[in-house]
Amino acid sequence: MKKTLVAVAALAAISGAMAEVTISGFIDQAYNTQRTTTALGVSSTVTSIGNNAIGQDSLGFAVSEDLGNGITAFGAINFIMNTTTGSGAVTTDNGSGIGVKGAFGTLGFGQGYSLVWKTSQMSDASGWGTGVGNVHNVGVGANGGNGIGYTLPEFVPGLSLSVEKAQGETASRQGDYQGLQATYTTGGFLASYATGQYKALGTGVWAATAEDGTGSAIAASVGEWTVIPGVSAAGTATTEAVTAGSKSSITAIALSYDFGAAKVFGGYNTNQSGGNTNQTANSSTFGLTVPFGAVSVGIAASQANHSSSAADNTATGVRLLGKYAFSKRTNAYIQYGKASVSGGQTATGNGIGLTHSF
């Protein structure tokens, strides 16, 4: 739900017109327990209060203006923060930027998650693409901003076509990015395909992700796979020296069908690095959600196969999520997840929490 404020006197005096500002946000807090076990059988347990089991804590401000002739200008700033401790940086996030839309489509500049990431999320039956047990989201990190996106008009009912371009600009941004997405919906059926490609600007060394995704913070931004939460390194991480013009690619496919009594999901991702070691990864997921009045239950099972110069590796996981809706904006939830790597490491996690949107 979004709250709308109308700035009357001040803005009207300056612009001669009324401006409409929309404020929205999301808060997710939970009590979590996570247990990890090494290949040698040594276990450790950590309990914590935290967020991001269902979504990121966020606060957003959006504005729009009718320019006439069916054209609307819009802008938004979305902040991500840590409400658990109050520490850490407050950053801007997906959807921050400015643009225009009309009969010609939608054109925007700013920051946003990649189209590949968005397609991958469409196949997540567990409600959110993180958490112990969800190993499917390989290589679908955000493009990090500095981008421009365009969504074409809907020429065919139910068909959405989008393209995006992000500039690398500096060596620390790892390189230029471009992507496209096609999504079709009709009735309860959804199908989405997206692909993206990064191009290196120089000869820097990219962090490689060996086996379970260790060291993925930089690697995710260049098309590598993301971390499997809670599962420690299954092998020795490698690095990749790259030359100017090297390319890495990521692709995602998502399918779902809503039968009313239940909704089924399926997805597949592929990832090919552009470094000298030519790492590859692919993953698949399937699952379903079932509503029971105010209660809904979701289950997702996933598998990822990683190949690098260090070793080949397979990770599997399952995640369960149950939610109870107190209202349209407030939910209680309980989650359980388990992930394992072929090298022998395992992790289990569970949590109970509350979410509120406004």
Task: Kindly report, residue by residue over 238-294, the tens digit of the pLDDT.
Answer: 455 556 667 778 889 999 999 999 999 999 988 777 665 666 778 899 999 999 999
Length reported for the chain: 358
Task: Answer whether 325's CB lies under 8 Å from 45's CB.
Answer: no
Winning range, highest mean pLDDT, from 157-166, 203-212, 310-319: 157-166
Reported as a pLDDT band with limits 50, 70 and 90, residue 46 is confident
As a whole number of angstroms, the distance between CA 196 and CA 199 comes to: 10
- Neighbour-count burial of 100, counting CB atoms closer than 10 A to its CB (0-12 exposed, 13-18 middle, 19+ buried): middle
Mind listing the pLDDT tens digit for each residue in 329-342? 999 999 888 888 87
Measuring CA to CA, how many Å separate 297 from each of 115, 119, 293?
A: 27, 22, 11
Measuring CA to CA, how many Å separate 293 from each of 223, 326, 327?
A: 40, 11, 12
Question: Pick the residue with more confidence: 39 or 202?
Answer: 39
As a whole number of angstroms, the distance between CA 232 and CA 35 comes to: 11
Reported as a pLDDT band with limits 50, 70 and 90, residue 234 is very low
Q: Which domains does the chain have, with CATH numbers?
A: 30-53+115-357 (2.40.160)
Q: Which two tokens stand for residue 68?
A: 């006439």
Measuring CA to CA, how many Å separate 151 from each of 161, 179, 180, 181, 319?
A: 6, 12, 10, 9, 33
Long-range contacts of the stretch 102-105 (C-beta < 8 A, 24+):
102/69, 102/70, 102/71, 102/72, 103/70, 103/153, 104/153, 105/150, 105/151, 105/152, 105/153
Question: DSSP for 201-246?
Answer: -S-PEEEP--TTTTTHHHHGGGT-PPP-TT----S---EEE--TT-
This model's pTM is above 0.85:
no
Least trusted range by pLDDT, from 96-110, 149-163, 334-348? 334-348
- Neighbour-count burial of 13, counting CB atoms closer than 10 A to its CB (0-12 exposed, 13-18 middle, 19+ buried): exposed
So what's the pLDDT on residue 128?
Answer: 60
